[in-house]
């Protein structure tokens, strides 16, 4: 087993996750089985209750684990399916150690950070690496060197280095800011590496985030002051798409350096990723899509607003590459649609997407967007809450059920969305939440059947409320059909008479991959492309 540990310095948000995922992609290209672990030093047990405004989207894994969005990047770059064990948090580690102490497993010893916390961290890492069947395990240590909450994890990494001598490499991600006259400053990187060395960890590779490629003299200076070879100083300058980061690292021979250090030899050579990027650059067509959500206003967020819907953005990209039409996203605040006429905001778009979300804020605006798409023949894709609101909108304005809505927001005369009275088959994760992979049966001849090319599918879920079965017949009689189901739970709602109206209770974006786009997203982009071509004709 080989380990590659990725740490970060200077500031947060430099791209440790993309760096780790890119390194993994390059090693997979050479024939190695790779897995990844994300360490989050926050005290939360998982990311399930974190606000998207603060931390970006909550990514859901196949076993229902609610985790940091970086694990979504790992799944997309490495084309793997991870589990909740691949995300280690301070909350998990301390909770487990305290429970062991209460059961007497430490035999009356004084429980301390060293060795008990650090041993628990190392045990979890080794267990994941072993159970995944991989040959190389990537470990991203979240946060920034010097953060007090990250100290136990960095100490565990220092111990792991001594225990795995020769089979472990450390990659440190830093920043080289540029002055107004164009000088690349190395002092932040020097201090960051100095901080790492004070903890007993000497980085083997320094990846430097910068606006423009590192100059030779800058690389030489970092090499000299940080005690790494020049070839181990890697420029990670700005690119127009993160899928180009592995190619940038390839050009600087980073995988060759790491493999030499870890005594590895290429087993094969794949050009799949290069071909994907070439196809992406070759896309000429454009379609305009409105994403109507409640986490789209940058002024309310400490994270980039796109991070709240990162998997949706990436799934649209995957579909756009395949369909030959690049989705140009217009981020629409749902509350804005409650104040303005929909045609003023949505009049020039080729498609409307309403994503998932919790809470009542913005629901009326989302339904106005849905109604506009339904009545004007605009391709519509609804995800999770976007399906529930599509059903509510249809029940109100087509079926004629005044006061139709969801019991999430109180008692209503027509609860078309509700928590079902029985919960058989629902694993107890997040109380009544359905989390992770569930299967669905599709109606033959439906749009869903045509999109997937199958009558049985598996997709990931993250929701609590369901379509109320008592209203299904009434709704279907008026033209909206439920073409996918899991027992008595409705999974897909579509309108056959509409050019493209598809909504799912599950999150298809979670399983979308570069080169293997999610079927609903691909069909959605193709429908937008067809609509745009028809307008031009």
Distance CA 464, CA 260 (A): 50
Name the DSSP class of 416. Answer: E
Catalytic, 236? Answer no
Tell me how many degrees the CA angle 109-89-118 measures, rounded to the nearest 5. 35
| Distances from the Cα of 325 to the Cα of 45, 79, 377, 537, angstroms | 40, 23, 20, 17
Distance CA 374, CA 380 (A): 8
Residue 205, number of CB atoms within 10 A of its CB: 24
Q: Is 8 helix (H, G, I), strand (E, B) or coil?
A: strand
* Adjacent-strand bridge partners of 459: 438
Distance CA 362, CA 381 (A): 17
Residue with tokens 């790492």: 196
The answer to whether 354 and 383 are in contact (CB under 8 A) is yes
120, 314, 322, 509: the active-site residue:
509
Nearest C-alpha neighbor of 277 from the set 257, 254, 249: 249
* Adjacent-strand bridge partners of 8: 173
Give kind and range of the element (H or E) at residue 486.
strand 481-486
* Adjacent-strand bridge partners of 332: 292
Q: Which two tokens stand for residue 117?
A: 């916390």
What residues contact residue 76 under an 8 Å CB cut-off, 6+ apart? 21, 314, 512, 513, 514
Catalytic, 509? Answer yes
Distance CA 6, CA 16 (A): 7
Q: Is 36 helix (H, G, I), strand (E, B) or coil?
A: strand
The answer to whether 323 and 69 are in contact (CB under 8 A) is no
Residue 341 burial (C-beta neighbours within 10 Å; 0-12, 13-18, 19+): exposed
Q: Return the sign of the alpha-carbon dihedral for residues 211, 212, 213, 214.
A: negative
Residue 400 burial (C-beta neighbours within 10 Å; 0-12, 13-18, 19+): exposed
86, 414, 498, 507: the active-site residue:
507
Q: Which two tokens stand for residue 433?
A: 């939440």
Catalytic, 384? Answer yes
134, 137, 236, 384: the active-site residue:
384
487 conformational bin, left if phi > 0, alpha if psi -120 to 50, beta if neither: left
Nearest C-alpha neighbor of 249 from the set 257, 451, 499: 257
- Residues classed as catalytic: 384, 507, 509
């Amino acid at each position: 087993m080989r380990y590659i540990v990725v740490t970060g310095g200077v500031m947060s948000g430099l791209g440790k996750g993309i760096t780790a995922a890119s390194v993994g992609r390059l090693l997979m290209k050479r024939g190695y089985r790779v897995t990844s672990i994300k360490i989050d030093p926050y005290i939360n047990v998982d990311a399930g209750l974190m606000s998207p405004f603060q931390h970006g989207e909550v990514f859901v894994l196949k076993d229902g684990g609610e985790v940091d969005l970086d694990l979504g990047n790992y799944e997309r770059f490495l084309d793997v399916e991870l589990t909740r064990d691949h995300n280690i948090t301070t909350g998990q580690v301390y909770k487990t150690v305290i429970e062991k102490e209460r059961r007497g497993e430490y035999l009356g010893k004084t429980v301390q950070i060293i060795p008990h916390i650090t041993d628990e961290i190392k045990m979890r890492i080794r267990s994941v690496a072993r159970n995944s069947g991989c040959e190389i395990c990537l470990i991203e240590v979240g946060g920034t060197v010097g953060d007090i909450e990250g100290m136990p994890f960095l100490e565990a990494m220092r111990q792991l280095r001594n225990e795995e001598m020769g089979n472990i490499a450390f990659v440190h991600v830093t920043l080289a800011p540029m002055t107004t006259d164009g000088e690349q400053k190395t002092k932040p990187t020097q201090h960051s590496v100095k901080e790492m060395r004070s903890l007993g960890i000497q980085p083997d590779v320094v990846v430097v985030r910068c606006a423009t490629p590192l100059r030779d003299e800058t690389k030489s200076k970092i090499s000299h002051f940080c005690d790494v070879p020049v070839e181990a100083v890697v420029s990670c300058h700005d690119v127009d798409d993160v899928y180009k980061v592995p190619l940038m690292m390839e050009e600087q021979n980073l995988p060759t350096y790491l493999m030499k250090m870890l005594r590895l030899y290429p087993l094969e050579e794949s050009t799949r990723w290069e071909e994907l990027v070439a196809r992406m650059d070759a896309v000429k067509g454009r379609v305009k899509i409105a994403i109507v959500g409640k986490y789209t206003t940058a002024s309310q967020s400490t994270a980039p607003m796109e991070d709240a819907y990162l998997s949706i953005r990436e799934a649209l990209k995957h579909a756009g590459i395949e369909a030959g039409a690049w989705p140009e996203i217009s981020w629409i605040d749902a509350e804005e649609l409650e104040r303005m006429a929909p045609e003023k905001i949505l009049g020039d778009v080729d498609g409307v997407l309403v994503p998932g979300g919790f809470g009542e804020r913005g629901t009326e605006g989302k339904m106005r967007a849905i109604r506009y798409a339904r009545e004007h023949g605009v391709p519509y894709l609804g995800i999770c809450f976007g399906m529930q609101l599509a059903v509510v909108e249809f029940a109100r304005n087509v079926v004629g059920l005044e006061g139709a809505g969801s019991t999430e927001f109180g008692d209503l005369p027509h609860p078309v969305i509700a928590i079902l009275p029985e919960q058989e088959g629902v694993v107890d994760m997040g109380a009544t939440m359905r989390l992770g992979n569930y299967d669905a049966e599709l109606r033959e001849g439906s749009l869903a059947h045509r999109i997937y090319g199958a009558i049985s599918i598996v997709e990931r879920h993250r929701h609590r409320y369901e379509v109320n079965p008592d209203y299904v017949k009434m709704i279907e009689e008026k033209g909206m059909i439920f073409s996918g189901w899991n027992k008595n739970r409705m999974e897909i709602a579509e309108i056959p008479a509409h050019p493209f109206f598809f909504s799912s209770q599950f999150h298809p974006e979670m399983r979308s991959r570069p080169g293997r786009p999610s079927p609903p997203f691909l069909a959605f982009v193709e429908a937008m492309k067809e609509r745009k071509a028809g307008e031009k004709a």
